[in-house]
């Protein structure tokens, strides 16, 4: 008998068909898979059923488009200690911390068993300001604490640095300030529209990414195949979101290296793109655009003409400023060799998306786990090798160019008429579905399980930031503390996507 089940992106399986093995087999199987860097863990989570803790691990193979599901059951006993997967592969560390926080599972050899989000429901008495930070008791060193409220208009998080003079030796990031129990709300709110609005609010800057992952997942649970128009709209919106946010990020990077012209030009270049969303669906972040089984805002010829005009103007001004900034000695000297994440580190922590690609690790759902629409577009990887802030800045330029090409390809093939069907959807009972979407930050993964009545029993959201915050901690080591802002902006990770 197999100890795992192979599925693909946007595929539904009977939840009972995932083989349940004993914990040691489960541990060895999954850590064994990760010995090969073409495999990475896309989601690992637990949920309670009939008084037992079910653990499900989803490991994706980036070459064969396969996802390996394996499962185990644990009794809920406070005395038992388990071996951790983390001790054998670091990429599991946050998943296990989350399981430990939510269900009280204790690990005998987890090197970093600390709180993740401080949920009120966990029964953990630790307060937000009692996080057990790593400390080094040396008189030569000093600690710097930043946050949760930061200088600009951004989300809250606490950063604790251990520094030797100006140099950062260690950074520990405490999150959880934004925690609002989104996953539980998915189960409590019974209407599809409520859940869609929730998905739109997981991370406001990735509205399209998370909503697409949600509707793909929900449609998969209902065995519903979305028509061409729906896929077209979603893919187009994803690429536009990528262009818009990358442009905003370039602006933020420019302001952190004090290059005012770049900051101003990029920030105004973002405006026409998100305003296009508004003329398409009434909201600058594309809220309202993506719906399961429906498409309320049809894309049409007029929108195509207006988008072509916007992108043409955008491209000219974008190329002009991006050439200037990426060849400017002042900006190169600030960005190059700043905040390096090596390929080994990226593999070790299971980095995804832009941060992984900048370090030479080819992880992009559009290539490795494409849906049939993406397959037709024949998307290619963009890879940079140095893993520094400069690589991540270059990645944004390349990805914007790539998205522009992709969009013009899509618009060329815009069909004359769309078939715009609305479908009332009902999830099938006893099902498991997984959806992967490449948001602008990287891989978004939504998993859902239904019970025997077809009601959601589990909804699990994973933002790419869940993997990548660790990359920021590693990147700033041996850098000057004054370079922290550029390192941070070069990743631009999500607080709310992590905190949920």
Question: Following CA atoms 392, 393, 398, 400 in sequence, which dihedral angle do they give, to the nearest 10 degrees?
Answer: 110
Q: Which whole-number Å values give the CA distances from 136 to 1, 164, 344, 454, 470, in the listed order?
A: 49, 11, 26, 52, 20
Q: Contacts with other proteins: how many residues (CB under 8 A)? A: 64
Q: Which two tokens stand for residue 20?
A: 């349940």
DSSP H or E run through 82: strand 81-82
The Cβ-side half-sphere exposure at 276, using a 13 Å CA radius, reads 23
- With binding defined as CB under 8 A, does residue 129 bind other proteins? yes
120 is an interface residue for other proteins by CB under 8 A? yes
Least Å from the CB of residue 26 to other proteins: 30
Distance CA 11, CA 369 (A): 11
Q: By CB under 8 A, is residue 11 in contact with other proteins?
A: no
495 touches other proteins by CB under 8 A: yes
- Kindly tell me which residue out of 95, 118, 214, 440 binds other proteins, with binding defined by CB under 8 A: 118
Nearer to other proteins, 78 or 301 (CB): 301
- How does strand 456-462 pair with strand 443-450? antiparallel
Q: Among 62, 98, 101, 155, indicate the residue that binds other proteins (CB under 8 A).
A: 155
Q: Least Å distance between CB 353 and other proteins? A: 17
**Least separation in angstroms between CB 115 and other proteins:** 11
Q: Tokens 């388990």 label which residue? A: 82
Bridge-partner residues for 173, per DSSP? Answer: 159
The CB-of-278 to other proteins minimum distance in angstroms stands at 6
Kindly state the tokens that stand for 19: 């083989």
Q: Which of 78, 191, 301, 453 binds other proteins (CB under 8 A)?
A: 191
Query: HEC string of 295-362?
Result: CCCCCCHHHHHHHHHHHHHHHHHHHHHHHHHHCCHHHHHHHCCCCCCCHHHHHHHCCCHHHHHHCCCC
Q: Among residues 4 and 186, whose Cβ is nearest to other proteins? A: 186
Under rule CB under 8 A, residue 353 binds other proteins? no
CB of 59 to other proteins, least distance (A): 29
* Interaction between residue 205 and other proteins (CB under 8 A): yes
Least distance to other proteins from the beta carbon of 83, Å? 31
Stretch that binds other proteins, among 35-43, 151-159, 353-361, 369-377 (CB under 8 A): 151-159
Site string for other proteins, 294-313 (x = CB under 8 A): --xx----------------
- Could you say whether residue 485 binds other proteins (CB under 8 A)? no
Interacting residues with other proteins between 314 and 333 (CB under 8 A): 316-317, 320-321, 324
The dihedral over CA atoms of 358, 365, 267, 175, expressed in degrees to the nearest 10, equals: -80
Which two tokens mark 253? Answer: 């990077």
Q: What burial class does residue 167 get, using C-beta atoms within 10 Å of its C-beta: 0-12 exposed, 13-18 middle, 19+ buried?
A: middle
Using CB under 8 A, list all residues that contact other proteins: 117-121, 128-129, 148-149, 151-156, 176-181, 184-185, 188-189, 191, 193-194, 196-198, 201-205, 207, 248, 261, 264-265, 267-268, 271, 278-285, 287-288, 296-297, 316-317, 320-321, 324, 494-496
């Amino acid at each position: 008998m197999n100890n795992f089940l192979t599925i693909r992106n946007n595929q539904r399986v009977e939840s009972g068909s995932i083989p349940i093995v004993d914990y040691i087999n489960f541990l060895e199987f999954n850590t064994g898979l990760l010995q090969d860097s073409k495999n990475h863990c896309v989601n690992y989570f637990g949920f309670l059923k009939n008084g037992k803790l079910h653990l499900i691990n989803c490991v994706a193979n980036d070459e064969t488009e396969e996802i390996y599901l394996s499962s185990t059951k644990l009794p809920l006993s406070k005395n038992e200690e388990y071996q951790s997967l983390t001790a054998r592969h670091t990429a599991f560390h946050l998943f296990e911390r989350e399981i430990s926080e939510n269900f009280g599972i204790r690990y005998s050899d987890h090197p970093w068993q600390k709180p993740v989000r401080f949920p009120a429901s966990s029964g953990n008495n630790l307060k937000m300001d009692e996080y057990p930070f790593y400390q080094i008791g040396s008189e030569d060193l000093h600690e710097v604490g930043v946050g949760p409220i930061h200088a600009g208009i951004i989300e809250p998080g606490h950063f604790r640095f251990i520094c030797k003079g100006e140099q950062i030796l260690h950074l520990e990031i405490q999150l959880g300030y934004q925690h609002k129990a989104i996953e539980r709300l998915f189960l409590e709110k019974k209407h599809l529209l409520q859940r869609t609005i929730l998905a739109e609010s997981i991370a406001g800057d990735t509205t399209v990414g998370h909503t697409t992952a949600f509707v793909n997942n929900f449609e998969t649970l209902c065995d519903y195949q979305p028509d061409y128009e729906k896929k077209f709209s979603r893919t187009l919106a994803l690429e536009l979101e990528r262009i818009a946010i990358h442009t905003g990020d370039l602006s933020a990077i420019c302001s952190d290296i004090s290059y005012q012209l770049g900051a101003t030009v990029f920030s105004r270049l973002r405006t026409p793109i998100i305003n296009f969303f508004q003329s398409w669906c009434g909201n600058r972040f594309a809220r309202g655009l993506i719906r399961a089984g429906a498409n309320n805002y049809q894309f049409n010829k007029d929108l195509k003409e207006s988008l072509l005009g916007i992108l043409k103007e955008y491209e000219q001004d974008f190329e002009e400023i991006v050439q200037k900034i990426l060849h400017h000695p002042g900006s190169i000297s600030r960005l190059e060799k700043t905040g390096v994440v090596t390929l080994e580190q990226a593999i070790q922590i299971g980095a995804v998306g832009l941060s992984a690609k900048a370090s030479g690790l080819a992880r992009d759902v559009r290539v490795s786990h494409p849906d049939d629409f993406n397959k037709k577009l024949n998307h290619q990887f963009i890879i940079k090798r140095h893993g520094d802030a400069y690589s991540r800045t270059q990645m944004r330029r390349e990805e914007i160019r790539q998205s522009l090409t992709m969009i013009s390809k899509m618009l060329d093939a815009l069909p004359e008429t769309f078939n715009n069907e609305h479908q009332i959807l009902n999830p099938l009972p006893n099902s498991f579905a997984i959806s992967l979407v490449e948001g602008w930050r990287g891989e978004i993964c939504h998993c859902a399980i239904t019970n025997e009545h077809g009601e959601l029993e589990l909804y699990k959201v994973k933002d790419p930031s869940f993997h990548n915050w660790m990359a920021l901690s590693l990147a700033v080591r041996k850098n000057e503390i004054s370079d922290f802002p550029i390192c941070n902006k070069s990743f631009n990770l999500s607080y709310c996507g992590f905190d949920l």
